[in-house]
Structure 1
């Protein structure tokens, strides 16, 4: 009897320990159609449950926070409502998690084991670093929230010019991390090693920053960048007369907006920045991407018609997410009826009415560019499909000229995509496949130009 009781106690004890041992890094593969995707979870124990983030590098997803993650009777359940995605898996005796994603009722098998996804990113900076690096926080006083980032300086003591990196679309951390690439980290490393300080920070609701990214618009991002400028002006190591901005993609709209509304910015670097109005940009982007996917001219034209009416509604509306959704759902129901399947309609409406995308559709970058009188370097790759180089660089140049700004350098670089990687086609599917994070040529141009402005 005692022997049986001891065995039962040992079994219960080992099961209890085993069932709770899910913290750390997990990885697995899902197959969608014929495409295999690496998926990674990072799990941390909280008071009564777990905090979990997900990476799917080939889809450009990094650090996506789960709304909930629970482990009950060895069943792990993870919810990503924004992605309409749920994972459920059973913790097996051999230390693996056997389960599936569920998306709109469809199961996608995903078994997990301990480990991390390894991607070859040869440019990623590695310690020890020759410069000073400090984890910092600063307040957006108007919205009473704290933002977190990294300030790198050539030395701990001294007085240095500095740039703030203004990130692109989507929830971006301070490194601009996507698909294993960390372009903002690489830019910061390059500039700091060459005498220029850099502040890069997590966007709202990302990494260590407070707030909710789902409420972020171009105006909100501008407010956060202004708060970063105010913070830098309190640092004795910063030359307040030499604070610049590097804006990438949608950050290339935010940066000119900030520069046009404050006298604290002394130069701008615009990387793949929009020049045309947001609705025109989104239409040309859609057409360029669909062309690389093999769609014919008629199909592309039909796609343009499908979204243009919705963009027109957004352009003339207030940024009220619920009202916009109602208006655009009614528009599509009245125009297409059952020809536009409900699940596809809801997915499209959710995408284009998000605060960030809707504010992009409403944007008119030229209005900011015309008011800027500081030196500007505007660069783009000739294979950029997201912000096509010719039309956007031309509008940027014309807008700056209209504002009588004669300190402007416009550059179109050959064989570079939206992320400034050397590429073959510029297609988004290449982003993760390319080992290069950022063209060394482009890095050198940025560095030498900023050095010229701050000497």
Structure 2
């Protein structure tokens, strides 16, 4: 039976499919279209793309006039994380920032589409007087462990391990270590803050609402930006919300899987497509997020937070997320700000579509970089 989900222009044909590529560059197979329709694209920022060659971007640092140290430290149970610690040349106990990447296996630079956002960010912050730690995700790059099957809790343990590592360093002020999380990293940082005590947090395109709510908005926004009609968008969002109700029921995962399978089968989803969706949503990562409410951790955190959004972000909606975030943050120095004309990566954009990320030369708007360092200096 024909799929009820729209085979929209969100996915563009690709003569060389590659599982490591971002979803917006993959060939639109039925399974992938279904995956998108059920929100598989949510927050996903795929890792380095091996078979593309990119020229250096204008913001890539050529010279780095500060201390650079390759490090390894303990993450969650049995995991050794590899990364890079950069510090000012000056002596003293430095304020420090741990960078937490978005979804998908990421290297320490959060590299994608020829851009290295975390390298650019760490360069700016280190030049501004801060120590910065960035690391390869578990099971990726030079870090050990397995990325597949890891959940929010595992990634929070890894971030907490990074915090403990910095706290042990004499060059770091143990009372001035904070997290900066991008995209899904905005979920991970508050979860890690329940394990350790960061002095501050910065979120760049970090969600404030539950995963499945973010998913529904993202799917609708991208479909609309690609020119889909409102009837198709409404149908897809309705189906997402119906699936959300199934996933949210407090029953064993086996029963959730059975109920979701019945729902998908009744709507004509073919067996192979059902299998992919079931594995995603009832697997460790998807099932934890299907039942996770970030408001609990955000409300419990009492130190300063800077939450930044791009006005044209189609992956984490500023219209939906910013008001919720403002209502959750507790500290009087916390700020929630939306930058006009910027996308999910904080690049200047016309449409906000992920397909434009690689075409834009700017890696991160200088205004955003300045705002982060300026806010930190005022703490």
State yes or no: 1:341 paired with 2:270: yes
1:25-424 mapped onto 2 (5 Å cutoff): 35=13, 56=21, 59=24, 117-126=53-62, 128-140=63-75, 143-155=77-89, 157-262=91-196, 264-316=197-249, 325-333=257-265, 335-336=266-267, 339-400=268-329, 404-424=330-350
In 1, Cα distance between equivalents of 2:299 and 2:52:
47
Residue pair 2:74, 2:80 contacting (<8 A) in 1 also = yes
Q: How far 1:308 moved relative to its partner?
A: 2.4
1:34-91 CA-partner distances (Å, limit 9, x unpaired): 8556789xxxxxxxxxxxxx86479579xxxxxxxxxxxxxxxxxxxx99xxxxxxxx
Which structure 2 segments of 5+ residues have no match?
1-10, 33-50
Residue pair 1:248, 1:272 contacting (<8 A) in 2 also = yes
Residue pair 1:214, 1:354 contacting (<8 A) in 2 also = no
**Aligned pairs, number:** 348
In 2, Cα distance between equivalents of 1:144 and 1:196:
29
Q: How far 1:307 moved relative to its partner?
A: 2.6
In 1, Cα distance between equivalents of 2:338 and 2:143:
34
Provide the secondary structure at the position in 2 that maps to 1:270.
Answer: strand
Residue pair 1:381, 1:417 contacting (<8 A) in 2 also = yes
The two structures have a TM-score, normalised by structure 2, of: 0.84
In 2, Cα distance between equivalents of 1:318 and 1:224:
29
Which structure 1 segments of 5+ residues have no match?
1-32, 41-53, 62-81, 84-114
In 2, Cα distance between equivalents of 1:409 and 1:186:
23
Label 1:34 to 1:324 Cα distance change in 2 as closer, same or farther (>3 A). closer
Q: How far 1:238 moved relative to its partner?
A: 0.5
In 1, Cα distance between equivalents of 2:246 and 2:23:
33
Provide the secondary structure at the position in 2 that maps to 1:245.
Answer: strand
Residue pair 1:38, 1:58 contacting (<8 A) in 2 also = no
Label 1:227 to 1:319 Cα distance change in 2 as closer, same or farther (>3 A). farther
1:280-317 CA-partner distances (Å, limit 9, x unpaired): 11111111111112111111121123232332233335
Residue pair 2:12, 2:25 contacting (<8 A) in 1 also = no
Q: How far 1:349 moved relative to its partner?
A: 3.2
Provide the secondary structure at the position in 1 that maps to 2:198.
Answer: coil
Structure with greater strand share of residues = 1
Residue pair 2:309, 2:318 contacting (<8 A) in 1 also = yes
Name which one, 1 or 2, has greater alpha-carbon Rg: 1
